[in-house]
Structure 1
Amino acid sequence: MTQHRCRVIAALVACLPLGGCFGIGPERLSRDEIDFSRALAISDNQQTLLNIVRLRYAEAPTFLDLTQVISGYQAQQTLSGSLDLFPSSHASTSVGGGGSMQLQENPTFTYAPVTGEQFSETFLRPLPPGTVLPLVLTGIPIDLLFALVVQSINGMDNAQVLAGSVGAMSEDFARLLHDLRVLQVAGRLDVRLGQAAIGQGRSDRRAAADVVKLAILNSDDARMTAVAAEARRLLGLPDDETPFDIVFDRRPVRPHEVAILTRSVLGVLGSMAFAIDVPPGDVADGRTMPTMPAASPVAIHSGRSAPDDAFVAIEYDRHWYWISSRDFRSKLAFAVLQNLLALAQSKQPPGAVVTIPAG
């Protein structure tokens, strides 16, 4: 075989891969799933933080629900080759080949504003105790959860923000949260899911929330025994392991019952809003009220720029607001808030659907 024929064959063989079938489905599936999941999480965090800041400045929150994501791809490929042979003159022999491939991505996002009955159901109605208490089973600190969501337990009040003023958390409420957390860590709290019977003096509305029982278990440890005794005293319960019903009310009406008033999602957002460390000039100008750090366990900072490693950050009116990536408790509380938002919307139509045509 002559040298120029070898070059011809080599050039044609080099072009052959461009003529094969090109599939993008398997190669893109894993990357798209991870990328869209990460992008949705970042977007949800930023939307929630922005609405918290807007509430601080007396603006109504606006939520957009991402209902559909369609990611379409189009692949184009071309292959060309040429061969001119002049045996009498090797200098005029020419070989050519070429190919190209183009991949286009055209994502489409569909949003729907949360309004009307959906807004009322999701953000204005108090969260049922039967929705909140099972989160304790996931390992969420019960003191953090109650500080965010619970307004009162058997008449003991959490801190409350009302039109820019705050009522302090009662000493008994703070002591109870501490005791419940100690018991939770020691495995002395038993959360049970079920349906309580309707008793005298209880309306159907209250009975619908009676889906959780909580028991304080005894211990051989003297310190745990003392903590359990104090928790039962604060809750007005007898000194035994009998499970007690969690009901939505200001005061209990039956023995072995604990009454809890929960906040709405909007109430939780509002308590976080008044704990933001806003620029002092905005308070002096009357644009917002003074900061109330005790209103929320989430620390939200502000400044002319946000740190590069912020957990979540948004810009509002020429200032940046963020939660520090080094503040684990604030990050955890914010994550609990996102879980509560998801639970509050659980009765609504399913969330975002990701469709990826790839063929």
Structure 2
Amino acid sequence: MMRSRPFGLALLLVSGLSACASQGPTRLPPDRFDYNQAISRSANEQMLLNLVRLRYSEIPVFLAVTSVLTQYSYGSTIGVRGSGGASFGDPLWQVGASGNFVYIERPTITYAPLTGDNFAKQLIEPIPTEMVFSLVSSGWPPRDLLLMTMFRLNDKLNMAFEMTPEAFERFDDFKLIVDQIIELARRDAMEVEHGEESKYLVFDRRTDPETRQLIAEFKTSLGLDAELSKFRITHRHMDRKPDEVTMRVRSILELMGFLSRGVEIPPAHQEQNFAEKSTGWDDETPRRIPLHVHAQVEPPQDAFVAIYFQDHWYYIAQSDHRSKKSFGLLEYLFQMQAPQLPTMGPLLTVPTG
């Protein structure tokens, strides 16, 4: 029975070596999850960094992850030594064994800068109107969504880059229009109709007196013809026809510039005039800007996303759900607008041989 020990030990080591061949499939679920999280975290940090750059009057720069190629290597060495003899007529075995298993992961990540005419065009062109209303229909919080994305409704202008009392007054007037839109949509008294060549803002004539009064007030606010119930949506402001309504949606760059006003500027940077001063900032600003980016010297403890810039940490608090939703909307719209780059290969490759 004693003679079987070295063979049993060797068999155990060989079986361990053969198990390496089946490690590839088992690595796929956890590694796919890890890379997914890493890419998501990197995208959030990049977007936050560019918002902070805009607040400091710097140019945003974007890098796209075009491919992630991961290779796995498994290696092992096995050694078995033994000696035999007899002592006083009894067999005597001495057996020794050694084993070494090596696991190596070699990720190759390819980045591509987002530049060129196509990308610049996507940044500065208005976000499609139908995309905004599709997000409203899909359940996105309509008030912040419309206040973030809509810039003009006929003669009513939303707040842009500037932070002045006049801009805040425009914002408050624009918010009243948005509240009217939300209420009319809630009552199913207004909708956007898609025609073959144009989109139309349509009001329901078959409504109760209270709703008809709300429709009349909305038309008065925008200077629309009270007798018409269907208006063609146009981006043109000048020479607008009586049966048209101007809807101008922000571009991605305009939206980023608007949200960048929610970035705090540390006192030290204010003293050194590193960033443009917000003369109109007051206690009501957080109500107007749906994104709040904190700034501090020490690393944050409760950050949803954080970046290090100009000797300070900038972050969105994990408990700030409004800012997280606004930031997520910006990320989603950016992904929809950004040009599609050709991928360099599969997202994740796991050789198992």
Counterpart in the other structure of 2:95: 95
Return the alpha-carbon distance in structure 2 between the equivalents of residues 351 and 182 of structure 1.
44
Counterpart in the other structure of 2:9: 11
**Cα deviation per residue 1:171-208 (whole Å; 9 max; x = unaligned)?**
44211112223445566654554533xxxxxxxxxxxx
Q: 1:298 aligns with which of 285, 291, 294?
A: 291
Shift of 1:14: 2.6
Change (3 A) 1:7 1:243: farther
Match status 1:180 vs 2:184: no
**Cα deviation per residue 1:193-251 (whole Å; 9 max; x = unaligned)?**
4533xxxxxxxxxxxxx4x4454557978766654554344345577995644322336
Paired-residue identity, %? 28
Q: 1:278 aligns with which of 253, 256, 265?
A: 265
Shift of 1:43: 0.6
Q: 3-state DSSP class of the match of 1:305?
A: coil
Aligned-residue CA RMSD (Å):
3.1
Match status 1:56 vs 2:55: yes
Conservation of the 8 A alpha-carbon contact between 2:193 and 2:200: yes
Counterpart amino acid of residue 66 in structure 1:
V
Match status 1:131 vs 2:131: yes
Counterpart amino acid of residue 348 in structure 1:
Q
Conservation of the 8 A alpha-carbon contact between 1:250 and 1:259: yes
Return the alpha-carbon distance in structure 2 between the equivalents of residues 186 and 101 of structure 1.
68
Change (3 A) 1:264 1:166: farther
Counterpart in the other structure of 2:316: 323
For 1:253-292, list aligned pairs within 5 A. 253-291=240-278, 292=281
Conservation of the 8 A alpha-carbon contact between 2:78 and 2:99: yes
Q: 1:310 aligns with which of 280, 295, 303?
A: 303
Return the alpha-carbon distance in structure 2 between the equivalents of residues 78 and 159 of structure 1.
68
Counterpart in the other structure of 1:82: 81
Conservation of the 8 A alpha-carbon contact between 1:129 and 1:246: no
Return the alpha-carbon distance in structure 2 between the equivalents of residues 47 and 178 of structure 1.
33
Aligned length: 342
TM-score by length of 2: 0.84
Q: 3-state DSSP class of the match of 1:326?
A: coil
Return the alpha-carbon distance in structure 2 between the equivalents of residues 261 and 126 of structure 1.
7
Shift of 1:165: 8.9
Conservation of the 8 A alpha-carbon contact between 2:259 and 2:291: yes
Q: 3-state DSSP class of the match of 2:71?
A: strand
Counterpart in the other structure of 1:204: none
Counterpart amino acid of residue 179 in structure 1:
Q
Change (3 A) 1:192 1:331: farther
Q: Which moved more, 1:37-46 or 1:81-90?
A: 81-90
For 1:1-359, list aligned pairs within 5 A. 2=1, 4-21=2-19, 22-88=21-87, 92-162=92-162, 167-168=167-168, 169-184=170-185, 190-196=191-197, 210=198, 212-216=199-203, 227-236=214-223, 244-250=231-237, 253-291=240-278, 292=281, 293=285, 296-345=289-338, 347-350=339-342, 353-359=346-352
**Cα deviation per residue 1:113-159 (whole Å; 9 max; x = unaligned)?**
12221331221222232333322222112221222122111121101
Q: 3-state DSSP class of the match of 1:38?
A: helix
Return the alpha-carbon distance in structure 2 between the equivalents of residues 134 and 252 of structure 1.
28
Counterpart amino acid of residue 340 in structure 2:
Q
Q: 3-state DSSP class of the match of 1:253?
A: coil
Q: 3-state DSSP class of the match of 2:277?
A: coil
Return the alpha-carbon distance in structure 1 between the equivalents of residues 294 and 254 of structure 2.
20
Return the alpha-carbon distance in structure 2 between the equivalents of residues 102 and 185 of structure 1.
62
Q: 3-state DSSP class of the match of 1:311?
A: strand
Conservation of the 8 A alpha-carbon contact between 2:149 and 2:255: yes
Change (3 A) 1:84 1:190: farther
Q: 3-state DSSP class of the match of 1:167?
A: helix
Return the alpha-carbon distance in structure 1 between the equivalents of residues 37 and 210 of structure 2.
44
Return the alpha-carbon distance in structure 1 between the equivalents of residues 77 and 327 of structure 2.
51
Q: Which moved more, 1:287-296 or 1:266-275?
A: 287-296
Conservation of the 8 A alpha-carbon contact between 1:164 and 1:289: no
Give the unaligned 5+ runs of structure 2.
none
Change (3 A) 1:329 1:228: farther
TM-score by length of 1: 0.82
